């Protein structure tokens, strides 16, 4: 934070993090207007085209008034990784800085932000047979079996992964199977020497009970706003359970409804439960980070935030 290094000055960034439905966007929009800047979205789901309502994507009207980056950039049948995010956001940061603006990173995908600010290790090459064996195991025994194995071998990666996210579970396990080390261990052994950014890292938090109520209400609003029609259109476009973008809370729980296996009420309960569990994992992740400013969503004093950001800018 003090920038004592005699190397090239680090680029200042403002980062807003927090669990889903906590109110990150509301604060971000006020800061954009006050600081005259642009938002780089750090949301691993909002990168997908057509997934609008279920990912709480900013409306077209808001996007026309406030410049957002890294939203609607890949199709639901395409992969998008932390490495892709780092590459794309680094380019944008330089472009925004060239306009004499202070880049604002906003999102709930903590792993993306960590990869951007701390660097990302180069993944080892994985023998084909290891990957094939893990895929076969998932097909025979299910994602839950693999997730339990991941919890045993690499608890840190398990914490970040959804128990149903077979792609991410296999990715973490194949690294472990190939090297005998976890992704976290490899990361620590190869720390980034390119700390390019000087960050002011803000966390918006909320009491769990209040947050869970907001999540439940938000899901109800999504349904009122046409989530089922959006899902129907995605299916009509040919996207399915195997499409990476469709492995998203709010969409994946609806497949059984459209397949007429489970009734809608049960699917909605699953969406709410899985969203609450996702928020719980986010809160666990944030507990391991030292934030420059932690705010309670129900008690945000904008003038104090602005003053601290200005102090941060002037300390450069």
Edge-first strand order for the sheet with 39-41 is 68-69, 39-41, 104-107, 11-17, 197-205, 293-296
CATH of the domain at 32: 3.40.50.300
**pLDDT reading at 5 higher than 70:** no
Of 136, 162, 188, which residue sits at a domain end?
188
Q: Rounded to whole angstroms, how far apart are CA atoms 71 and 64?
A: 13
How many domains does the chain fold into? 2
CATH number at residue 163: 1.10.20.140
Q: What is the pLDDT of residues 213-261, one digit of tens each?
A: 999 999 999 999 999 999 999 999 999 999 999 999 999 999 999 999 9
219 lies in the same domain as 276: yes
Check: CB of residue 40 under 8 Å from CB of residue 105.
yes
Residue 97 has pLDDT above 50, yes or no: yes
> Do 233 and 146 belong to one domain?
no
Pairing of strands 104-107, 293-296: unpaired
Global pTM? 0.82
For residue 316, give Cα distances in angstroms to 2, 26, 34, 116: 8, 27, 19, 20
pLDDT exceeds 60 at position 3 = no
For range 142-149, the mean pLDDT = 89
Domain boundary among 141, 168, 188: 188
Six-digit token string for 169: 């579970």
Structural domain that includes position 58: 11-120+192-314
Verify that 87 and 198 share a domain, yes or no. Answer: yes
One domain, residues 150 and 95: no
Check whether residue 162 and residue 63 sit in a common domain.
no
Task: Inform me whether the pLDDT recorded for 4 exceeds 60.
Answer: no
Do 211 and 223 share a domain, yes or no?
yes
Angle between helices 208-224 and 264-286 (to 10 degrees): 140
Choose one of 188, 211, 233: the last residue of a domain. 188
């Amino acid at each position: 934070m003090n920038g004592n290094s005699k190397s090239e000055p680090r680029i200042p960034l403002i980062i807003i993090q927090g669990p889903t439905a906590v109110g990150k966007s509301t604060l971000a929009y006020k800061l954009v207007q006050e600081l005259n800047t642009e938002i780089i979205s750090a949301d691993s789901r909002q990168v997908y085209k057509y997934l609008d309502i279920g990912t709480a994507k900013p409306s077209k009207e808001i996007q026309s008034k406030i410049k957002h980056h890294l939203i609607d950039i890949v199709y639901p049948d395409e992969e998008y990784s932390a490495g892709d995010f780092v590459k794309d956001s680094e380019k944008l940061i330089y472009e925004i800085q060239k306009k004499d603006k202070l880049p604002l990173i906003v999102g709930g995908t903590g792993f993306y932000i960590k990869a951007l600010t701390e660097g990302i290790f180069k993944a080892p090459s994985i023998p084909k047979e290891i990957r094939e064996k893990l895929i076969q195991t998932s097909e025979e025994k299910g994602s839950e079996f693999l997730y339990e194995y991941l919890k045993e071998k690499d608890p840190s990666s398990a914490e970040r992964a959804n128990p149903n996210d077979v792609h991410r579970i296999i990715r973490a396990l194949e690294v472990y199977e190939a090297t005998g080390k976890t992704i976290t261990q490899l990361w620590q052994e190869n720390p980034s020497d390119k700390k390019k950014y000087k960050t002011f890292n803000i966390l918006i938090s909320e009491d769990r009970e209040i947050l869970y109520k907001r999540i439940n209400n938000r899901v109800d609003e999504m349904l009122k706003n046409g989530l089922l029609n959006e899902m129907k259109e995605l299916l009509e476009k040919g996207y399915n359970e195997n499409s990476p973008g469709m492995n998203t809370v709010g969409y994946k729980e609806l497949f059984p409804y459209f397949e007429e296996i489970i009734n809608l009420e049960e699917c909605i309960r699953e969406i709410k439960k899985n969203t609450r569990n996702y928020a719980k994992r986010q809160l666990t992740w944030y507990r391991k980070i030292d934030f420059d400013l932690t705010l309670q969503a129900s008690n945000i004093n904008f003038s104090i935030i602005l003053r601290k950001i200005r102090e941060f800018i002037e300390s450069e």
